[in-house]
Amino acid sequence: MALLGPNGAGKTTTVRMLTGLISPTEGEATVAGLPLRGNENRIRAQVGVLTETPSLYDRMRVADYLAFFGRLYGIPGVELGPRIEQFLRLFDLQDHRDKRIGSFSKGMKQKVALARALLHDPRVIFLDEPTSGLDPESARVLRDYILFLKEERRRTILVCTHNLDEAERLADYIGIISRGRLLRYSRAEELKTEGLREREFRITIDLRESRNLRVLKAGPGESLKGNTANVTANITTNVTPGVSVDISDVIVDAVELVKNTAGVKKVTNARQESTSRQIQGRRQDPEGQYPGTPSRLSISIVFSTEDPRSTNPQVLRSLLDRGFAVISCEETTRSLEDVYLEIVGHEEMANGRSWTSMAPEEGRSYGRK
């Protein structure tokens, strides 16, 4: 499970309660099959904990430090040596085994803290920002080891992180916490649709097959300019120089149709890029076709709605009635970041705050002079 939330949301406090470091004011919890209250010492023997700012014994050497904690956890001597060697290799600490921890960088200290948390093969593992300070290669090694513990060793792991990509890679379940309240808890893929009130869809239109494409009488090489209402035209062309095809009004028409459909909340572009394009083609023939124009001349329009069952058929009907050749209408993939910001943002507004109210005040100086 990944536990997400802004600073001060209660993630670290939750971990401290579940590991018996502080007593909850109310409520019950079970950790490693044991009720939390009255079993704090037994629970601590079965969990591994990496805190956000781990405290290490800086004057001890790495191998001695791990051996000390291994004995505290009751690891038999015949097993302790091989386990220490295993984690020294895993985190690339073999060449530093006899160095004092106080001489290490932040990333090196993070590796030592991780080795200490995992040394006794705990049933439940709590990791607070586990890849903080690690170089990319070490972070990848740790992520792979977490997945090994989850899938092969069947360990329960709770990761507190601000790294949403990492949370999505590692977690089966994701919880979002704010102001001490668990706002959402579900599988990552379910969260992407459950967490947002609006769902987003992309419609692709083939302008080559649409009835309302216009051709301007202009010389070769003239460029198309026009306001396309912030919607990107995805254009593919490879034809003989001829006349410029004017699609700007057509795009605006398509966007307005979608925007004015009941139930559409907003219309955005599929990609942020320039909408001024040069298209070379030929004049319309007597049958209304455009010989030499590209076989695929398409635009993508992205819109959001709270009720796709009702709204999407109306959007398609409006475009088809106007003569647009709709190729596809598909739901876009929401990112976990979109979901997280939406959920936490609603919680802040419900408590009288907004993202804009948290921005620096105008005219106020921040940071050191």
First to last CA, the chain: 42
Lowest mean pLDDT among 49-63, 138-152, 287-301, 313-327: 287-301
Residue 282 pLDDT:
43
Q: Over the chain, what is the mean pLDDT?
A: 80
Rank 51-55, 109-113, 196-200, 296-300 by mean pLDDT and report only the highest. 109-113
Give the percent of the chain with pLDDT over 70. 75
Residue 367 pLDDT:
41
Residue 294 neighbours by CB distance under 10 Å: 18
Across residues 269-273, what is the average pLDDT?
A: 41
Across residues 14-28, what is the average pLDDT?
A: 91
d(Cα 236, Cα 245) in Å, to the nearest integer? Answer: 13
Residue 185 pLDDT:
93
Across residues 147-157, what is the average pLDDT?
A: 94
What stretch(es) of the chain map to CATH 3.40.50.300? 2-192
Does residue 207 carry a pLDDT above 90?
no
Does residue 281 carry a pLDDT above 70?
no
User: In the numeric block, which tokens belong to residue 297?
Assistant: 């001349």
Band (pLDDT 50/70/90 cuts) for residue 136 is very high
Rank 60-64, 227-231, 276-280, 352-356 by mean pLDDT and report only the highest. 60-64
Does residue 364 carry a pLDDT above 60?
no
Residue 234 pLDDT:
39
Q: What is the pLDDT of residues 229-254, one digit of tens each?
A: 333 333 333 333 444 455 667 778 88
Residue 211 pLDDT:
67
Lowest mean pLDDT among 27-36, 160-169, 188-197, 236-245: 236-245
Across residues 290-310, what is the average pLDDT?
A: 74
d(Cα 232, Cα 302) in Å, to the nearest integer? Answer: 10
Q: How far is CA 193 from CA 24, 182, 265, 302, 330, in A?
A: 33, 18, 16, 17, 14
Does residue 256 carry a pLDDT above 70?
yes
The CATH number that domain 2-192 falls under is: 3.40.50.300
Does residue 318 carry a pLDDT above 90?
yes
d(Cα 266, Cα 306) in Å, to the nearest integer? Answer: 11
Does residue 67 carry a pLDDT above 50?
yes
Closest CA to 137 of 161, 170, 112, 107: 107
Across residues 120-130, what is the average pLDDT?
A: 95
Pick 79 or 347 by higher pLDDT.
79
Does residue 227 carry a pLDDT above 70?
no
Q: What is the pTM of this model?
A: 0.68
Pick 174 or 281 by higher pLDDT.
174
Pick 205 or 194 by higher pLDDT.
205
Residue 82 pLDDT:
96
Across residues 177-192, what is the average pLDDT?
A: 89
Across residues 299-320, what is the average pLDDT?
A: 92
Band (pLDDT 50/70/90 cuts) for residue 200 is confident
Three-state SS string across 61-106, please? EHHHHHHHHHHHCCCCHHHHHHHHHHHHHHCCCHHHCCCEHHHCCH
Across residues 216-225, what is the average pLDDT?
A: 39
Across residues 336-361, what is the average pLDDT?
A: 68
What DSSP string describes 154-200? --EEEEE-S-HHHHHHH-SEEEEEETTEEEEEEEHHHHHHHS-SSEE
